[in-house]
Amino acid sequence: MIVRPGQSWFRLLFIWNGSVLQSIIPQLLFMAAVSSLAVVTHGRILGEKIPLNTTLLTLFGLTLAIFLAFRNNASYERFNEARHLWGNLLIASRALMSQTLRYLPSGTDRTRFIHALIACVYALKHQLRGSDPCPDFRRLLGEGPAQALRDKCYRPVALLDDLRNGFAGMRERGQISDTALWMLDAQLNELGKVVGGCERIASTPIPFAYGVLLHRTIYTYCIMLPFGLVDSADIFTPLLCVFISYTLIALEAIANEVAEPFGLAPNALALDSMTRGIERSILELCGRDLPEEVAPRYPYQLT
């Protein structure tokens, strides 16, 4: 996702980065060509006039709009749930870190717990994006643990298990009470729920048939549109059709991007920024130096 500052209404008219316009230009050029053909032939194909009018197109367009709204709502629900899960990740990470600082014995070396918790957050981000976590693991855990985690399929789960094992060992040695262990374990469970929720979203896309049906319907409507408008719009048919096609095709493109909230598309979640924010929050609780915050920059960069 692009982290950007607020924009004025005028600048929004000309925004390029983060807009789906750059990805649908070939489709719009195709629609301009079809519309121009309709104007040149006066709405005829092979000499036969296509019997379309604005009334039929209005009824068809209304049905399409309802279906498109359903598709966008389904996509946004996935995006919104993913954002809530990462919000819960921040809350549970802060709570676990605070409890670790307050309930572990004063002589305990907390560095390992701090770095393992931060590494878990980074591991989840890399697992969802399919990127290489080793640089972050080496930075946080050292070369040995980073190499051990390379062969793991579910690295966030492995790190949570390592944290739980550390707390259980402290309880066996009598360093923490049963109540403290229960509270720490409850936060680990919350982190595990977040990991499982994110895995569910990433591994369960919107049913393919919905996307295929919507895609075919949009392009069928857009291709028929100029032949229904040519009698009333005449030479302005290409302009009107390209604008209407832009609206419909762009909405479909946005729905496809938002439906994959953990991807690298401009409208996906800003996982780099969110991960850095959680790291900064944990380190601030510990009184450590904070890494630089991911801030809006120009030219805009994916984060």
User: Which tens digits make up the pLDDT trace of 220-260?
Assistant: 999 999 998 888 888 999 999 999 999 999 999 999 999 99
Per-residue confidence (pLDDT) for residue 2, from 0 to 100:
53
Sketch the domain layout of the chain as residue ranges: 78-206+270-288
Amino acid (1-letter code) at residue 251: L
User: Which tens digits make up the pLDDT trace of 170-183?
Assistant: 999 888 999 999 99
The C-alpha R_g of the chain, in whole angstroms, comes to 26
Per-residue confidence (pLDDT) for residue 4, from 0 to 100:
57
Per-residue confidence (pLDDT) for residue 300, from 0 to 100:
44
Average pLDDT over residues 201-214: 90
Widest CA span in the chain: 91
Q: What are phi and psi of 2, to 5 degrees?
A: -85, 125
Token couple for 277: 């924010």
Give the best-scoring range by mean pLDDT among 13-17, 71-75, 187-191: 187-191
CA distance 155 to 119: 9
Asked whether 268 and 257 are in contact (CB, 8 A), the reply is yes
3-class SS shares of the chain: helix, strand, coil, % to 5: 70, 0, 25
265 pLDDT band, cuts 50/70/90, is confident
Percentage of residues in the chain with pLDDT exceeding 70? 92
User: Which tens digits make up the pLDDT trace of 3-19?
Assistant: 555 666 667 667 777 67
CA distance 127 to 132: 8
Residue length of the chain: 303
- Judged against a pLDDT cut of 50, whether residue 302 lies above it is answered with no
- Judged against a pLDDT cut of 70, whether residue 296 lies above it is answered with no
By CB neighbour count within 10 A (0-12 exposed, 13-18 middle, 19+ buried), where does 16 fall? Answer: exposed
Per-residue confidence (pLDDT) for residue 107, from 0 to 100:
74
295 pLDDT band, cuts 50/70/90, is low
User: What is the chain's mean pLDDT, rounded?
Assistant: 88
Per-residue confidence (pLDDT) for residue 5, from 0 to 100:
58
Sign of the four-CA dihedral 148, 150, 156, 157:
negative
